[in-house]
Amino acid sequence: MALSVWEGGKAKEAAPAIRKAVNNAKLNILEIRRGCGSWECGCGRAHTLPFLVVGKSGSVEVVLKPAPQGLGRAVGDVAKIILRMAGIEDAWGFAKGHTKTTVNYALATFDALRQTSIMKINPALKLSTPIYAGSVANAGSVKS
């Protein structure tokens, strides 16, 4: 699943600022890896995170944990939207710091999701549950 943020769009008027933000977002798309990292579940489907991730932005630190199928997104309202866009159906979330600063809360969540893609996973390892990349529609077929 690809995800990006609207960050750093600045201009004197609204329309060019939005255009710049969209351009920046398109240049910062990243692929998120999903899987069933939940001890309680272990179904092997791409419904949650493959492992625990931590993200930071400003004072905000976000921890996202794999959750069993059907639990839903047990996170704050801002993180909920981002997880939905990322195709993560179930997760536990914990946040520290000034989460009222919506931009930092959003960026910290984005940073946490980025950890799923920058973590190096040795292909020789036999994982008990597969890790998926790619679109939500292909959740059952694309492995990485």
Residues that bind Zn ion (CB under 5 A): 36, 41, 43, 69
Q: Closest separation between CB of residue 42 and Zn ion, Å?
A: 6
DSSP letters spanning 103-119 = HHHHHHHHHHHHHHHHS
- Give whichever of 69 and 144 is closer to Zn ion, judged by the CB atom: 69
Q: What residue has token string 């993200």?
A: 55
Q: Closest separation between CB of residue 37 and Zn ion, Å?
A: 8
Q: Closest separation between CB of residue 124 and Zn ion, Å?
A: 24
- Give whichever of 28 and 69 is closer to Zn ion, judged by the CB atom: 69
Q: What type of residue is 116?
A: T
Which H or E run includes 27? helix 14-27
- Give whichever of 40 and 77 is closer to Zn ion, judged by the CB atom: 40
- Give whichever of 97 and 130 is closer to Zn ion, judged by the CB atom: 130
Alpha carbon distances (Å) from 23 to 9, 108, 113: 8, 20, 21
Q: Closest separation between CB of residue 43 and Zn ion, Å?
A: 3
In three-state secondary structure terms, 132 is: strand
